[in-house]
Each structure stands twice: as C-alpha cells, then as structure tokens.
Structure 1
Amino acid sequence: MRYLVLLVLLGLPIGVAAQQERLVRLYAPEALVETGLMKHILPRFSLKTQVKVALAETPAAADMVLGAQGRAIFEGAGQAWHMQIVAQDHKPTARLADWLTSDVGRRTIFGFAPDGVALFAPPAAKAVVAVEVEMDGDAQLGHKVSRVKCARCHAVDEASRMGTIGSTPSFFILRAFEDWDARFSGFYLLKPHPAFTQVEDVTDPFPEDRPSPIVPIEVTLDELEAILAYVQALAPADLGAPLQTE
C-alpha cells in the first residue's frame, strides 16, 4: 500500500514504475553494436528473464558497460570485451551479468554467426608466470640455528633423524609441501609453537603468571631468514604420488 502511495506522490504511473524496475541500461561502443551482437543476444535474454535492456548513449548513463574494463567475457571485432557493473545493487543488472557469464549466455554469444562464421569467442586465458623466490638469508647459519633450536622435535638434517619426536615431521617432509615457505615463515603461529616460542620484536612476551611449559625457544628475524635459506636448499622428501580416488 505504501508503495502505491509513493508512486502517486511521485506522479509515476504504476505500469511505468514496474517497467523501470525491470530495465537495464547497457552501454556498448558503436563498434560492438554494429556487429549485430546486441540485437542477437538481448531479445533472447529478455525473453528468458522478462528483464528489458535499453542501450545507453554514454557510460555515465548506464547500469552496465561493455568495454575495456572489468571482467573479460568474450573477444572479437578486434578486441577483448569486458563487463563492468556500474549499478552494484541493481537486481536486473545482476541478472544480466549472471546470464552473460552462464553457459546459456555464452553459447548465445559464441553462436552468433551472421555469415556462417562465429564472430566471437571466449577470452584468451592470461598466462600465469611462476616466480621463484630466492631466500637471501645465511643458509649455514640457518643450519646451525636449526640444530640448536629446532632439532629437539624435528629432524633438521641426516644426523638428527633418530633423535627427534617420531610424530613430528622432518624438515625434509615439510620442504616437500608447496607452501613450505609460508609454514616456516609463520611457524610461531602454528600449534604447538605459540606455547613456547618467542620471536624478537614480533611475539608478545609470555604472561608472568603462565610461563612456557618447556624451555622457551627464542629466535630473531635474522635467524628465521637464515632457517628459510637453509630449508630452501634441502632436497624435498619423496612423498609419493597423490592418492587417486574414484
């Protein structure tokens, strides 16, 4: 009832207001419009969703913009076309965005072939460049620090394999994990280390009324960098092939 009163106060016909609630203003550059793609896909979207799409004259007047910014959704007509949502909380615009990236929408776009040849294709995948991080710490110092401060629990080298806690992974096993550097960089945050580890200028002192259950391990940031350099040089343990499940 209050919605109807508001429409009357604004002087808007009820039918016009309802249509505006189901309208998306889309900006597409002339080069894209001239291909005929918009005439091909937009009626199909509207038939499926009952959401109308009107082409805006400028990006500033649009709820969604097709151009060079945003998420890449297809390429053709000489460039990759991206979707940028301007009206973030507009449900009809969200429906159009979902449709354009859905299987149905993609098939409709890629199936547009006015002369028997498809004009548009999926966007090219971006190449992922792997960056190898080089640790600049002192590996020899890292070996010494590891033997003094880590070997009570972990096997840090061949000589310490038989004198450690059996359930604690060796440095060789940890080195085989893809995120080994993150594990070592933040080891003092991983249980049980917070209970007995102090990193200079990083961790808070132990409460005086709750001392560490064992002799604390005190490590400086320079020593931690040295340990990382030492572990990087270790040969990872062979953990075998990943388990295969059906």
Structure 2
Amino acid sequence: MRHALLCLSLLAFATPCNAQEAIGLASPEVLTRSGLLQHILPRFSLKTGIRVVADPVGPMRLVSEGDGTRVFRQGDTVYLLQIEAEPRQERFRDWLRSEIGQRTIESFTPSEGPAFVALRDEAAAVETVDFEGDAALGASLAQGKCGRCHVTGAENRMKGIGSTPSFAVLRSLPDWDARFQQFYVLRPHPAFTQIPGVTAPFDAERPPPIHPVTVTIDELEAILAFVAATGAADLGAPLIVK
C-alpha cells in the first residue's frame, strides 16, 4: 500500500517510480535568476535521461571563483563547474563542454545583461550525433505524432501543412540535431506538447489549442534515430541559418 502511494505521488510530478534520483546543482543567485538553468537542464535531461535540478545544497556547483572546470561566461564573469568523481556528474560536465552543450548555452537569451558565451578554449571533443533509438519505431512515431503538421516521409508527403518545413528540410540544417532535441520549446510546440518528467503541466487557464502531443524521452530518441538516418533535402545551395 505504501509503495502504491509512493508511485501515485511520483506520477503527480510526471516522474516514473523507477527513475534515477535527480542530481542537485547549486549556483549563485544571479545565475539562477537569469533563467539559464531552466533553459539548459531539461535539454540535458532529454538528451541523456539524467535529471539535474537546481538545488542550493546540491553536490554539483556553479561558481564564479575558485577551482573547477570553466564552462561559460557572462560579460566579465566566468563560471566554473565543481563536481564529484561520479559518472553522471562527469557526463553533465562533458555535455556542457561539447558542441551541443555549447550551442544550448548560447541559444539562451537572458532578459537582462549580456548573452552567455561557452568557453571553447577548454571544450571537450565534439559530441557526435549518435542516437541509439529504434529508427523504424521512430518513423512510425514521427508520422503519428508529427505528421499532422510536418511531412515526415513518403507516407504522408501530401498531408503536412504547407508553411511547416518537412523533416527532410529540417535535416538539411547544420544544427538539425539540436533543433529536434529542443523542439518542445520552439514555437508553437510549447502550447500543445508534453515531455513527461521534463516539461511542466499545461496551465489550467490556458489549455492546448489542439489535441496535445505527449512524447516520452525514449520515443524522442527513436524519432531522432529516424531523422539521423533520413536523407537531407537537396535545396540546390547551402542553407543560411539566421
């Protein structure tokens, strides 16, 4: 009975009962207020399945002085990450220093102050685009969950919305992987998309304008594997991304 109650309690927060315990990350108040952590932590979780949450007494710490790994700066302030010798914490450090992590940091626009800049001089090797999901399953999921707006393949090539880019066109972009991993925060997706354990529940006063789409982390990994194996559209000239 107690176990059942625990499971119901966890489900209320969209977190499975067998999920790994989240890792706490402490940071200076000015960094917490900036919104950067709310921007990068869900994206790391979505990519790796490792949950990191803001926690003033967490074992990982972002500091502006002392020892640690230099990860990014804002203006003249350089932030360092202090971690313990623990695999999941080391994965978070390496992700911050990877190309995908750097792009994630620099895609955030703070409401105040200068933009955050990743410190590439100490960056780790570029993280390769290697998704381990089931590409065949991803093709089916893409058509079922994305096909009402996007052309995902030959099966629905005449059924997408004309103003919405096809998966083949998106695959042509140099940062296609980051765009697909972060799709749920790119308009208009936040209005109707839920990633259990990552996104907050819909505001009761602002219900989804269309039937909501729920995608699990495993399902998104399968969709990413499908897109990675999909040929990019030949548009006749290199794309210029603004």
**TM-score computed with the length of structure 1 as normaliser:** 0.45
Q: Which protein shows a greater Rg?
A: 1
Higher relative contact order (CA 8 A, sep 6+): 2
